[in-house]
Amino acid sequence: MTDNLELSHQQERAFQPQRLSAPRDFLMPDATLTPKSSLVLEIGAGKGKHALSFAMQNSDKHLIAIERTRNKFEAFEKLAAQQNSANLTAIHADAIAWIVHAIAPNSIDSIYILYPNPEQHNPNQQWLNMPFFEFLLSRLQVDGEIILATNIETYMDNAEHQANEVWCLPNTRSQVASSSQRTHFEVKYLARQETCWELSMKKPEGYQTRFDKWMIADVSI
> pLDDT-based confidence at 33, cuts 50/70/90?
low
Side chain identity, residue 55:
A
Q: Residue 217's pLDDT is what?
A: 64
Residue 24's pLDDT is what? 85
Q: Please spell the DSSP secondary structure of 42-109, one letter per residue.
A: EE--TTSHHHHHHHHH-TTEEEEEEE-SHHHHHHHHHHHHHHT-TTEEEEES-HHHHHHHH--TT-EE
DSSP state of 178: T
- Tell me the per-residue pLDDT of 70-105, one tens digit each, with 9 for 90 and over: 999 999 999 999 999 999 999 999 999 999 999 999
7 — phi, psi (to 5°)?
Answer: -75, 155
pTM over 0.85? The answer is yes
Kindly report the CA angle at 28 between 221 and 90, in degrees rounded to 5?
A: 120
Confidence of residue 220 (pLDDT cuts 50, 70, 90): very low
Percentage of the residues of the chain whose pLDDT score is greater than 90 = 87
Instruction: Report the pLDDT value the prediction gives residue 219, as an integer from 0 to 100.
Output: 38
Query: How big is the CA angle at 92 (ends 28 and 123), to the nearest 5 degrees?
Result: 110
pLDDT for the residue numbered 199? 98
